[in-house]
Amino acid sequence: MTILSVRLHLVELPLVRPFRTSFGTSTTRQLLVLRLETETGVGWAECAADPEPLYSAEFLTGASLVLRDHLLPRLLAWPDLDAAHVGTALAAVTGHPMAKHVLETAVLDAECRAQGQSFGERLGATRTHVPAGVSVGIADDLPALLTEVEGYLAAGYQRIKLKIEPGWDLAPVAAVCRAFGDVPLQVDANAAYTAGDLAHLARLDDFALLLVEQPFGEDDLVTHARAADLWSTPVCLDESIGSTHDLQTALALGACQVVNVKPSRVGGYLEAVRIHDLAVAHGVPVWCGGMLETGIGRSANLALAALPGFTLVGDVSASRRYYRQDLTEELVLRDGQIAVPTGAGTGLEVDETVLADLSTSVVELVGAPA
Ligand code: OSB
Ligand code: MG
C-alpha cells in the first residue's frame, strides 16, 4: 500500500470521574489519534501515551516528535508496505512502543478495512463476546470506594481491579471483600513498592485475590520472582513486559504467573498476539489490559481479548465507564460482556464531528492539509 496522508489529532476527553493511580491523577484523557489514508482507504489508531512519562518512559509530546521525525520517514521509505512489515520498517528506532503501536495499528486497520476483514478474524479471535472487568482508581476514602464498586457490580462487571499504593492496599481490599463477599478481585500497584514491602504485601494472601499486578519496578524482575516464590497470590506483570523477549526473560526467572497483555505497551497487536502465543505455550494465562482507550483503541482490544489464551477477565470496559461521549459509537456492557465488533478493521466508525470538537490541535504529517 502507499501512504497518501497522515493526520495527527491531539485530543482531550473529559473522564466521567477522575482516575487516580500510584503515579498520578487524571481528570481528562489526553491522547493522539492518527488518521492514515492509503490508495485503498483509511485506517485509524490511537496512541496511549500520557502527557507525562509516569506510567512508562513515553509521553505525548515525545510520541508525536518521534512519529514525525523518526518513525514516519522510515515507514514512507519502506517499499510495498503492509501491516506485517511495519515492525521491521521501524525496528531501527529503539524503544517508543506506543508510538510504533499507533502506526502499525493504523496500517493494520487500513489493510483490514480494504480487505473486508475484521480485527478479530485477522488476529485469531475465537469468541464473539468478551467478559468485562473494570479497573477502579484510588478513592478519597473507603465509603467512596465501596459506592463506586457497588455501581460497577450493579452494571454487571464480572471482575474488579483495585489500584493500590503504600497506605491504600490492605484496607481497601478488606473493605471490598467484606462488603461484596467473593467478588472476583485483583489489585494493581503500578510499580509503587520495593523489596522492603515483600512481607507487608504477603498479607494480601489472606484475601484469595486473582492476582497482584506489577507490585515492583518495571526493571525489577528479581523482586517479582521472589514475590512469586513467597506469596500464594499469583504475580502478574504489566509494565515489565514490553515484548515477547521480555516475557521469555520473566518466565525464565519465574517472575510472573500471569501476564497483562497491553497492545500499546508492546508496540502493537501483532506483538501482542506473539506474546499471547508464547504465554499459551508455557501454560501462562493472560488478560487484556487497557490505557483508558477511546472506542478506537478499545474496539481493537476487544478483538485481541477474544483470542483463546485470554482466559482471565480483562480491563476492557464499556464506553460509559470512561467517557460521556466516545469518539466512536458506544461500546456497551450487556450481561457482563461486550460484543467483539464484526465489521471490517476495528469495526467501529470514528465520529469525525466529535473528534474535531475535542481536538486541541490537528497536524498534517504527510500530504496536503485538508
Ligand atoms: O496499569 O493497567 C494499568 C490505565 C492507565 C494506565 C495504566 C493502567 C490503567 C488501568 C485502566 O488500569 C485500564 C483501562 O480501563 O483501560
Ligand atoms: Mg497495570
Residue-level pLDDT at 108: 98
Residue-level pLDDT at 237: 98
Q: Cα of 42 to ligand 2 centre, how many Å?
A: 31
Residue-level pLDDT at 156: 98
Q: Cα of 290 to ligand 1 centre, how many Å?
A: 5
**Structural contact between residues 130 and 314, judged by C-beta atoms closer than 8 angstroms:** yes
Residue-level pLDDT at 297: 98
Averaged pLDDT score across all residues of the chain:
97
**Structural contact between residues 330 and 299, judged by C-beta atoms closer than 8 angstroms:** no
pLDDT by residue (tens digit) across 267-322? 999 999 999 999 999 999 999 999 999 999 999 999 999 999 999 999 999 999 99
**Structural contact between residues 300 and 48, judged by C-beta atoms closer than 8 angstroms:** no
Q: Give the chain's domains with CATH numbers.
A: 3-115+349-366 (3.30.390.10), 121-339 (3.20.20.120)
Residue-level pLDDT at 222: 98
* Nearest ligand, CA 24: 1
Q: Which of 288, 292, 319 to mutate to test the pocket of ligand 1 (most atoms within 8 A of CB)?
A: 292
Residue-level pLDDT at 368: 63
Report which protein residue has its CA nearest ligand 1's atom 9: 291
Per the listing, cell 483509511 goes with 42
Within the chain, residue ranges assigned H as helices are 60-66, 72-77, 86-90, 97-115, 119-123, 142-155, 170-180, 198-202, 221-230, 244-253, 269-281, 295-305, 319-322, 352-358
Task: Calculate mean pLDDT across residues 226-234.
Answer: 98
pLDDT by residue (tens digit) across 161-212? 999 999 999 999 999 999 999 899 999 999 999 999 999 999 999 999 999 9
pLDDT(28) > 80: yes
pLDDT by residue (tens digit) across 132-157? 999 999 999 999 999 999 999 999 99
Q: Which atom of ligand 1 is nearest to the CA of 292?
A: 16
Task: Calculate mean pLDDT across residues 224-249.
Answer: 98
DSSP structural state of residue 79: T
pLDDT(370) > 70: no
Task: Calculate mean pLDDT across residues 217-242.
Answer: 98
Rounded distance, CA 75 to CA 281, Å? 32
CA proximity to 313, closest of 291, 329, 296, 290: 290
* Ligand 1 pocket member 238 (CB < 6 A): yes
Percent of the chain clearing pLDDT 70 (strictly above): 99
Q: Cα of 116 to ligand 1 centre, how many Å?
A: 31
